Structure 1
């Protein structure tokens, strides 16, 4: 983990920007700079951020403070993003961050599908940093921004009909039925997801839930190498969203691990249904690369989703995961 202070500087620089741009696109910079710092690339953080900076927008105006009495009325209202970030800033100033997270995780978990799953991914990056090092002001503020963004974009998925699944995560992903109409953005497609395979539905033990969540992250990451061409950007989230949940588990009470697994599966399966290609394609990496070399290639490419998928692939570290990261580099447009 970065001990140079670079990450804190970058986060302070970013906290004057909003969580979105153009009214719907996520600001990925806080997640990407955390990934770079965590992977030994702190020296490149500000250079990368200079390249990404034209995409940033100013922090939005607030509407009215969110309070403990009326928070349910503000939940899921993207116009209240600044209000929610302010609410969590105050909460985290008054109580330890783990306590705030434990209270709000079960409230927010059912709505992790809003914002194309980016809010939970941002929270996962923030929590990783806090677990790995000192709870500095900028890192606590980043958690407030992540939780606030999640609350503002909170969107549950309801009415799903279970379909036959499989015992292993990879086979269950193969059993996902693609939606019939694949036009429109994430919210439109998400509304068309009506059936998802059953997987890990009978799990009750927290440790088993953690093991299966790790299996899901591995399966979705490996799958990207052969299925990422379905939509090179959006299919990244099938892996990075459950990995954000997995990274957060050590900071959560154990009784929240099983529902976390179930929400993560729904997210991965739904993204698969929305963007999976008609058929997989074989993929052979263009050579053999170490984890460090793959990270350097992702940094040179610059795309924020490539960086984040590579970060997840490096959590796994196996040959298939690194191949998925290399595939993302090939498929995605570089950051200009």
Structure 2
């Protein structure tokens, strides 16, 4: 554990010299998220080589342009030019207060913009919170929390919340009932802009079964992660990379719940379900792939180890993160489709050299 923790810390330190986005298309830096999975899943020996190849594509962390304080933070929310300022702000916050306090305060403030970076802000936070909850509280993990929160704040963006879950649909039925936007083309803004007024959108989102207790909220999130994972198997071909996040984003929220006060659990479910539904409606094709096109679960006696090994060999960051989620779904539910979904992601997404 000490060796693995040291590997993770070194990797975090290397990534903290880079920005949360890279290239002209502002692609997300997935490095810190992927290495957390590699270390936690017992592949710490692969981290250094993976990081060596990954950092070559990244841009430097943007410099600061000014100061963000408690009095004016709202003005800087969603301003991608101020990633450096937000990073300095959260680094200072975490040096002055316990990380759980900072997380609770800012989780509530940032939750309305949970679509930030196509949900990569909350996913990055979720991965490092998992490390912190496992006992890895040290300067490197606290810095990683600062970088994750900074990215979320700088790219804050939400989808309209149409209401809290209050119906009778379980997450599987709710996802199956989601309408699709009329024109599934263009960028995220163009697609999500078609949701208001879309027939069936409001009623399906609010039709999710209500969750009144902390355990019900946890169960609803677990079922949502499972539903999204299994639907990636059948619908992932519509947008192989984007649709990964319908599973990994709610899973990040699920893993963060233990670090949050109970009063934030219900709003978190509403926000991440609405966001997941929006991405699915915008990118998932109306028709499932034919059964003969889908992979079968691995025949190995330890299917989880098999898909994780394949994901690590594949080396794409999305496949690594999605496989981690799919493995959790399989462990929790025993549904072989979860492992097949991992193989589907590996087939749809190009492997890294």
Task: Return closer, same or farther for 1:141/1:164 CA change in 2, 3 Å cut-off.
Answer: closer
1:38-49 to structure 2, matched below 5 A, reads 38-49=40-51
Aligned residue for 2:296?
285
CA distance in 1 between counterparts of 2:172 and 2:220 reads 11
1:248 is paired with a residue whose SS is helix
Check the 8 A contact 2:129/2:256 in 1, yes or no.
yes
Check the 8 A contact 1:102/1:253 in 2, yes or no.
yes
Per the normalisation by structure 2, the TM-score is 0.91
Aligned residue for 1:321?
338
In the alignment, structure 1 residue 218 sits paired with structure 2 residue 229 = no
Deviation above 4 Å: which 4+ runs of structure 1?
159-166
Shift of 1:184: 1.5
Shift of 1:205: 1.8
Task: Return closer, same or farther for 1:248/1:35 CA change in 2, 3 Å cut-off.
Answer: same
State the Cα deviation string for residues 68-127 of structure 1 (Å, max 9, x = none). 110000001111111111111000001110010011111101100121110000000010
In the alignment, structure 1 residue 193 sits paired with structure 2 residue 195 = yes
Aligned residue for 1:108?
110
Check the 8 A contact 1:201/1:262 in 2, yes or no.
no
Shift of 1:3: 4.2
Aligned residue for 1:302?
315
1:57 is paired with a residue whose SS is coil
**Unaligned regions of 5+ residues in structure 2, if any?**
none
CA distance in 2 between counterparts of 1:135 and 1:43 reads 21
1:48-197 to structure 2, matched below 5 A, reads 48-158=50-160, 160=162, 167-194=169-196, 195-196=201-202, 197=204
Shift of 1:164: 11
Aligned residue for 2:21?
20
Report the aligned-residue RMSD.
1.9
2:212 is paired with a residue whose SS is coil
Corresponding pairs, count: 336
Shift of 1:204: 2.7
Shift of 1:133: 2.0
Candidates 274, 297, 319, aligned match of 1:266? 274
**Unaligned regions of 5+ residues in structure 1, if any?**
none
Shift of 1:286: 6.2
Shift of 1:158: 2.2
Deviates more, 1:168-177 or 1:279-288: 279-288
Candidates 255, 273, 283, aligned match of 1:247? 255
CA distance in 1 between counterparts of 2:67 and 2:176 reads 45
State the Cα deviation string for residues 127-179 of structure 1 (Å, max 9, x = none). 00000123011100000000010000111222759999751101100111111
Check the 8 A contact 2:165/2:207 in 1, yes or no.
no
Deviates more, 1:130-139 or 1:1-10: 1-10
Shift of 1:191: 2.4
Per the normalisation by structure 1, the TM-score is 0.95
Check the 8 A contact 1:2/1:37 in 2, yes or no.
no
CA distance in 1 between counterparts of 2:251 and 2:101 reads 21
